[in-house]
Amino acid sequence: MRSIRSRLVGSLALAITLSIAAPWSASATVGSYLTMPALVRLSEVIVTGTVVSQASAWSPDHRLIYTRTTVQVTHTYKGDVPSTIVIGTVGGRVGHRVMSAAGTPTFTVGEEAMLFLHVAGDVYFPTALSQGVFHFQSASAGATAARDLSGMTLMASDGTVVASPEPTLHVTDLESTVVRLTGAGS
């Protein structure tokens, strides 16, 4: 039988690993679970793209940490955007300081995603936080898309909670839905 101390040391290693792997796991957001038509309608820009870089830094007044994620746009469904856009989100890690901006989507360099966005100057930001980001994943039956809604309090119109993770979609189904709702041909 392993000693308690060895269990604890192992647990500490696991705790550190988890803390590094999910530094922004705090959940502190109350919001509304938008229907797909509402998500499309509220978003000024809808694109698919590939994440090419990401960096976190303090704001000039050193009050907020922002993470800027650069995306190479591969297809535009709504709005008029350049070929490369920057998505701004609050939160991130600079040195040993972590700022958690709950419900904020996180990205991985190299991943593809469909993005529902607002525009604020030269920065784009996700509609309804994580609700506006469908991460693409390869699968044998075709690419799928899923949102990470952990960390969000989502109220449906009847007041019930929307569980996370939600069911994954086939990318082709998602794209056809967006095309139909935007009225844009692909």
Partner 1 sequence: MKRLAPLVVLASLLIAPTAHAYNWVGHYWLSNSVVLNYNDGSFSSSSLDWTTTRNQLGSAAGTWTQPACTVLSLSLGSSTTSGYGYDGENVISMESTNAWRTQLYLDSAIYGWTIDSWNDTSYDITDSDVIFNGGAMTDPTGAQQLYWSSMAGAPDELDFQSIALHEFGHVIGLGHNGSPGASVMYPALAGGTLARSLHQDDVDGVCFLYTNPFSMAGMNAECTTDHDCATGTCAFDGTNHTCAYRCTTDCDCPSGNGCGMTATPGVSVCSTGANTCPTTGGRTFAQNGASCTHGIDCLSSLCYTPTTGSAFCTNRCNTDCDCNAAYTCDATVHVCVTATGATHCTMLDGGTVADAGHGGLDGGVRDGGSAPPTGHSGCAVASADRDSVAWLIVMGLALVAHRARRRVR
Binding to partner 1 in span 113-142, by CB under 8 A: 118, 120-121, 123, 125-129, 131
Q: Is residue 15 part of the contact set for partner 1 (CB under 8 A)?
A: yes
Q: Which residues of 36-58 are buried (b: 16+ CB within 10 A; e: fewer)?
A: eeebbeebebbbbbebeebebee
Residue type, 75: H
- The two structure tokens encoding residue 75: 């297809």
Please report whether residue 152 would count as binding partner 1 according to CB under 8 A: yes
Which residues inside 74-103 make contact with partner 1, applying CB under 8 A? 88-91, 93, 96-103
Task: Please report, in angstroms and rounded to a whole number, the separation of the first and last CA atoms in the chain.
Answer: 62
Residue closer to partner 1, measured from CB, 34 or 85: 34
Q: Where is 20: in which H helix or E strand?
A: helix 4-21
Least distance to partner 1 from the beta carbon of 153, Å?
4
Is residue 89 within a helix (H) or strand (E), and if so which, with residue range? Answer: strand 84-90
Judged by CB under 8 A, does residue 153 bind partner 1?
yes
30-69 positions binding partner 1, by CB under 8 A: 30-35, 37-39, 41-42, 59, 61-65
